[in-house]
Amino acid sequence: MQVFSRYRFSIWLISAILFLLPSFGFAQENKSYPASRFPDRIILGWKGDPVHSQAVNWRTDSTIAKAVAAIHEADPSPDFQANAKIVNALSQSVILDGKSVQYHEANFTDLKPATQYMYRVGDGTSWSEWFHFTTASDKREPVSFLYFGDAQNDIRSLWSRAIRGAYSTLPKADFMIHAGDLINSSNVDYQWGEWFEAGGWVNGMVPSLPTPGNHEYYRDSEKKPHVSMHWRPQFALPENGPEGLTETAYFIDYQGVRFIAMDSQAALLDATIMEKQAAWFEKVAKNHGMRWTVVIHHHPIYSTKNGRDNEEWRARMEPLYKKYNVDIVLQGHDHTYGRGINMPLGVSRKKPDGPIYVVSVSGPKMYDIGLQNWMDRAASNTQLYQVITIDETTLGFKAYTVNGDLYDAFDLQKDKKGENTLVERTNSLQMQERLELPERLQKSFKAEELKEYNQRFQEYKARKGKK
Query: Between 320 and 449, whose confidence is greater?
Result: 320
- pLDDT digits 0-9 by tens, 238-286: 999 999 999 999 999 999 999 999 999 999 999 999 999 999 999 999 9
Q: What SS3 state is found at 241?
A: coil
pLDDT category of residue 466 using cuts at 50, 70 and 90: low
In a domain, 18, yes or no: no
Lowest mean pLDDT among 3-17, 66-80, 452-466: 3-17
Contacts of 41 (CB under 8 A, 6+ apart): 57, 58, 59, 192, 193, 196, 203, 234
Q: What SS3 state is found at 369?
A: strand
pLDDT category of residue 31 using cuts at 50, 70 and 90: confident
Buried b (16+ CB within 10 A) or exposed e, 94-103: bebeeeebbb
Residues 60 and 209 in one domain: no
Residues 323 and 441 in one domain: yes
Asked whether residue 25 carries a pLDDT value surpassing 90, the answer given is no
Domain harbouring 97, CATH code = 2.60.40.380
Average pLDDT over residues 334-352: 93
Burial of 348 (0-12, 13-18, 19+ CB in 10 A): exposed
| Of residues 274, 283, 358, the one with CA closest to residue 315 | 274
| Of residues 361, 364, 54, the one with CA closest to residue 178 | 361
> Sign of the C-alpha dihedral, residues 391, 334, 227, 99?
negative
| pLDDT, position 29 | 47
| Of residues 446, 45, 27, the one with CA closest to residue 208 | 45
- pLDDT digits 0-9 by tens, 75-98: 999 999 999 999 999 999 999 888
- pLDDT digits 0-9 by tens, 317-329: 999 999 999 999 9
- pLDDT digits 0-9 by tens, 401-420: 999 999 999 999 999 999 99
Average pLDDT over residues 279-302: 97
Query: Between 347 and 397, whose confidence is greater?
Result: 397
Residues 64 and 151 in one domain: no
| pLDDT, position 224 | 96
Residues 280/248, Cβ–Cβ less than 8 Å: no
Angle at 139 between CA 135 and CA 144, to 5 degrees: 60
In a domain, 3, yes or no: no
Residues 380 and 234 in one domain: yes
Residues 290 and 359 in one domain: yes
In a domain, 269, yes or no: yes
- The amino acid present at 49, given as its one-letter code, is D
- The amino acid present at 432, given as its one-letter code, is Q
Domain harbouring 167, CATH code = 3.60.21.10
Burial of 288 (0-12, 13-18, 19+ CB in 10 A): middle
Residues 123 and 190 in one domain: no
| pLDDT, position 11 | 44
- pLDDT digits 0-9 by tens, 118-145: 999 999 999 999 999 999 999 999 999 9
Please provide residue 203's backbone torsions phi and psi, each rounded to the nearest 5 degrees.
Answer: -60, -25
In a domain, 28, yes or no: no
Residues 378 and 260 in one domain: yes
Asked whether residue 21 carries a pLDDT value surpassing 50, the answer given is no
Last residue of a domain, one of 134, 165, 180: 134
Residues 190 and 306 in one domain: yes
Q: How far is CA 86 from CA 49, 66, 83, 119, 234, in A?
A: 20, 13, 9, 10, 21
| pLDDT, position 461 | 85
Residues 123 and 181 in one domain: no
Residues 296 and 438 in one domain: yes
Identify the domain containing residue 407 by its residue range.
Answer: 143-461
In a domain, 299, yes or no: yes
Residues 110 and 80 in one domain: yes
Distance CA 255, CA 67 (A): 32
In a domain, 48, yes or no: yes
Asked whether residue 455 carries a pLDDT value surpassing 70, the answer given is yes
Query: Between 3 and 218, whose confidence is greater?
Result: 218
Lowest mean pLDDT among 20-29, 226-235, 421-430: 20-29
| pLDDT, position 261 | 98
| Of residues 357, 347, 292, 277, the one with CA closest to residue 325 | 292
Residues 250 and 317 in one domain: yes
Distance CA 158, CA 381 (A): 13
Query: Between 8 and 334, whose confidence is greater?
Result: 334
Rounded to the nearest integer, the mean pLDDT of the chain is 92
Last residue of a domain, one of 134, 154, 183: 134
pLDDT category of residue 345 using cuts at 50, 70 and 90: confident
Q: How many domains does the chain have?
A: 2
Distance CA 262, CA 90 (A): 26
In a domain, 20, yes or no: no
Last residue of a domain, one of 134, 163, 182: 134
pLDDT category of residue 30 using cuts at 50, 70 and 90: low
| pLDDT, position 391 | 97
Asked whether residue 454 carries a pLDDT value surpassing 70, the answer given is yes
Average pLDDT over residues 8-33: 48
Burial of 121 (0-12, 13-18, 19+ CB in 10 A): buried
In a domain, 21, yes or no: no
Distance CA 231, CA 247 (A): 8
**Sheet of strand 406-414, all strands in order from the earlier edge strand to the far edge:** 208-210, 175-178, 143-148, 384-390, 394-401, 406-414, 420-424
Average pLDDT over residues 59-70: 96
